Amino acid sequence: MSHPNPARAGKSEETDHSESRMIRIFDTTLRDGEQSPGASMNLAEKLEVAQVLADMGVDIIEAGFPIASPGDFEAVKQIAQTVRGSTICGLARCNDKDIDAAWEAVKYAPSSRIHVFLATSAIHRQFKLRMSPDEIVERAVAGVKRAVSYCDDVEFSPEDACRTEYDFLCRVVEAAIDAGARTVNIPDTVGYATPGEIYDRFRMLQDRVPNIDKAVVSTHCHDDLGMAVANSLAAVAAGAGQIECTINGIGERAGNAALEEVVMAIQTRSDFYACETRIDSKRLVPASRLVSKTTGIQVQRNKAIVGRNAFAHESGIHQDGMLKERSTYEIMSPEEVGFSKTDLVLGKHSGRAALADRAKNLGFTLTGEQLQIVFEQFKVLADKKKEIYDGDIIALVQQQISGSVDEEWTLVDYVVTSGKSRDPYVELTLRCGDTEATECIELGDGPIDAAFWAVEKITGIEVVCKDFRVRSATLGRDAIGEVNLEVEHKGRTYRGVGVSTDSVESTILAMLNAINRIISEKSPTQNDTHPNA
């Protein structure tokens, strides 16, 4: 397959992997990933993430499920119209309306794909679809044919394939390929399979489906038992040519296989897998951070590849070994996945160009207006802190990226007093367009609670706080504090992020971020129309 991104196209020539297979990376962060509760992204955020995925060398971006909502349709369409370098894919159930909508959304891309799915396991046939095996085959064939009438790149997924009887799975896969599917994806929809079973199932398909060589076989694993990455790699070892995965492993329930983990396993253990991908691994950490910020889903510290501790060596014995020879305890270098060599970057005398350059190295290209705002915030921060670290810059930039979208309410000023033996007091001023509103509140369990009350009073939006986390973006007691918030409003979950050296201010900013998401969500998102429903 020739890759549409010229920056990545030469990789196989540069590296001497004459025997190695090229594995396609199919990213579904914007579709399955967005199905994580509360992870919905707005249009601008989806466009930003899609461009980052294309720039890092993702072969296929599943941009959404166009029939799910007008917002989803618009996002897939705009991604197809603007993002270059990857095939843009839209998901559809096996019916005419879904497939037509998927095509209408993806048709603008120079390289587009329709992904059609239909459940095949006995459990789904009997209880969800109430369809006989013959009806399933008939519907699958009709769906693939309709998609092929629009687009020659069609993928078919027998949903819950890993719990489908071998004989029936072979029958469906063969029929879908005959109908024109160029990729057949074998999802472990409920994360039930083990690596050994996956290996056997993929080998079985290679051995028993007569036309299997006419299609790329793909793997799509969920992480309910923590085996999504191991299962995806077992599928590759058994001949799969495409991995479906998400940044940070976000996705339905326990999530999907993490892109950064499968990519680095293939890269680091090329001796074992004899495969490669087109992913520029140096972009993994910036992509992880961007997705974490836009979805509000934090990356655990010890997360493989992109976690803050992924390359930290604590024990004296390990540190001693590292100083003598890095390979004693390090199988990859932090730089290889996009951590920068030195974390200490700028100070109060650094200029705008240095800030723009550092942000670019961290994976963010800022517009002139964004740079101006981040630079002003940077100067204020540099006055408070002597040293500015990468983590500080990332926090400022990402707040700007997510904060610059559909922002309605902004913080003007606040005063807080609190003490052990008195009620907390908050005086808060917010702005929305030309209107400024001030509220004084003297109640609550503490200053943060009082700030919540004041924000709710001014904006008129009531929320229930489901999760509240504060963490420092860098080291030291003057570090930026990042608040991650999860709130519920009318039965739906929203996230908000705020950063400041003052934790009350971070809280107010996070609260406003969540409230602005509620306001900007004029149409229901994909979470309302679960594709597996």
Segment contacting ligand KIV by CB under 6 A, of 72-80, 136-144, 183-191, 363-371: 183-191
- Residues 110 and 78 sit within 8 Å (Cβ to Cβ): no
Q: Which of 159, 260, 482, 486 binds ligand KIV (CB under 6 A)?
A: 159
Residue 245 CB, shortest distance to ligand KIV, in Å, is 12
55 binds ligand KIV (CB under 6 A): no
Segment contacting ligand KIV by CB under 6 A, of 173-181, 184-192, 266-274, 437-445: 184-192
188 binds Zn ion (CB under 5 A): no
Angstrom CA distances, 273 to 20, 26, 240, 318, 339, stand at 8, 18, 11, 28, 25
Q: Tell me which residues in 56-75 interact with ligand KIV (CB under 6 A).
A: none
62 binds Zn ion (CB under 5 A): no
Alpha helix (H) residue ranges in 184-283: 195-208, 228-237, 259-268, 270-273
Q: Tell me which residues in 216-275 interact with ligand KIV (CB under 6 A).
A: 220, 222
Q: Which two tokens stand for residue 443?
A: 């109640």
The binding track of 84-123 with respect to ligand KIV, each residue x by CB under 6 A or -, is ---------------------------------x------
Segment contacting ligand KIV by CB under 6 A, of 11-19, 185-193, 322-330, 518-526: 185-193
Pairing of strands 435-441, 112-119: unpaired
Segment contacting Zn ion by CB under 5 A, of 32-40, 141-149, 452-460, 486-494: 32-40
Q: Which helix (H) or strand (E) holds 481?
A: strand 481-489
Q: What distance in Å separates the CA atoms of residue 36 and residue 32, rounded to the nearest whole number?
A: 8
187 binds ligand KIV (CB under 6 A): yes
32 binds ligand KIV (CB under 6 A): yes
Q: Which of 29, 112, 164, 189 binds ligand KIV (CB under 6 A)?
A: 189
Is residue 177 classed as helix, strand or coil in its secondary structure? helix
Q: Which is nearer to ligand KIV, 186 or 297 (CB)?
A: 186
Residue with tokens 């942000």: 359
CA 327 to chain centre: 31
Q: Is 479 exposed, middle or buried (0-12, 13-18, 19+ CB in 10 A)?
A: middle
Q: Which two tokens stand for residue 446?
A: 């503490």
146 binds, among ligand KIV, Zn ion, none (CB under 5 to 8 A by kind): none
Q: Which two tokens stand for residue 482?
A: 């990042």
Q: Which is nearer to Zn ion, 32 or 223 (CB)?
A: 32
Residues in contact with ligand KIV, total (CB under 6 A)?
A: 10
> How many C-alpha atoms does 166 have within 13 Å on its Cβ side?
12
**What residue is closest to Zn ion based on CB?**
32
32 binds Zn ion (CB under 5 A): yes
Q: Which of 370, 348, 344 is nearest to 358 (CA)?
A: 344
| Footprint on this chain of Zn ion (rule: CB under 5 A) | 32
